[in-house]
Structure 1
Amino acid sequence: MSVASSAGYLARRAAQKERVRILYRRALKDTLNWAVHRHLFYDDADELRKKFEANKHVEDLDAIDRMIERGEAEHNKWRHPDPYIVPWAPGGSKFTRNPTPPDGVLHSTTVLSPF
């Protein structure tokens, strides 16, 4: 292998690893949305991990790309329609509940210097 082809191979592998990592995290968080109780989540999380671990040793780059695409399609098919959003995060029920005051209004913690 030449240096250029080695660099291309390593770059593609790194991109695939990142896509798999992102897919796993998204699927794991979505599994938590579907679980009613934490002990059910643990069982589902173990099953998800086994699915990812089963293909851990695949080396063919094209096969890995196909598996990632199938995994992303399956995840999109089974995504939760109403996912849990942390209340203070964007889209949460408490997000911007207390907006910042407009310019010119002093905060109660602001101390004015007499000088």
Structure 2
Amino acid sequence: MSFLSNLGYVSRRAAQKERVRILYRRALKDTLNWAVHRHLFYQDASELRERFDANKHVEDPDTIDKLIADGEASYEKWRHPDPYIVPWAPGGTKFTRNPPPPEGIEIIYDYGKEDAEPL
């Protein structure tokens, strides 16, 4: 019985670590959307890291779950309404701007060459 309870604890902690990692990365990327200049981003990023480090030593799994839920709710509340999207990424302004031609259309690349006989 001890082995199964220990295994459940370890798997729960692994899932919590993954949720915290994902939350931190999403919040850090969203911080870049709010910062106009890089030096402002560095300041905001260090404040974000301090908020995560303040709860680094919490060991109770239920408390950790509550902190993660509070962090995710705070992220959803403060996320940027119009995030920056790389232009060529899905959702960007240049995504599929020049799609490939449809099937059956042949493109001829020998411009200026006629089929006339040489003189």
TM-score, with structure 2 as normaliser = 0.86
Matches within 5 A, 1:35-50: 35-50=35-50
Please tell me the residue identity of whatever aligns with 2:101.
P
User: Which residue matches 2:12?
Assistant: 12
1:22 deviation in Å?
0.4
User: Which residue matches 2:101?
Assistant: 101
Q: Which secondary structure state, in structure 2, belongs to the residue aligned with residue 88 of structure 1?
A: coil
Q: CA RMSD in A?
A: 1.5
Which of the two has higher C-alpha Rg?
2
Identity of aligned residues (%): 74
5+ residue gaps, structure 2, are 110-119
Please tell me the residue identity of whatever aligns with 2:10.
L
Aligned counterparts of 1:87 and 1:17: Cα–Cα separation in 2: 32
Aligned counterparts of 2:2 and 2:107: Cα–Cα separation in 1: 63
Aligned counterparts of 1:90 and 1:31: Cα–Cα separation in 2: 20
Which structure 1 residue ranges, 4+ long, deviate > 2 Å from structure 2?
Answer: 104-109
Shift in alpha-carbon separation, 1:81–1:2, aligned structure 2, 3 A: same
1:106 deviation in Å?
4.5
Q: For this pair of structures, how many residues does the alignment match?
A: 109
Aligned counterparts of 1:107 and 1:41: Cα–Cα separation in 2: 47
Please tell me the residue identity of whatever aligns with 1:76.
E
1:17 deviation in Å?
0.4
Shift in alpha-carbon separation, 1:6–1:33, aligned structure 2, 3 A: same
User: Which residue matches 1:85?
Assistant: 85
TM-score, with structure 1 as normaliser = 0.89
1:108 deviation in Å?
6.5
Aligned counterparts of 1:53 and 1:106: Cα–Cα separation in 2: 59
User: Which residue matches 2:2?
Assistant: 2
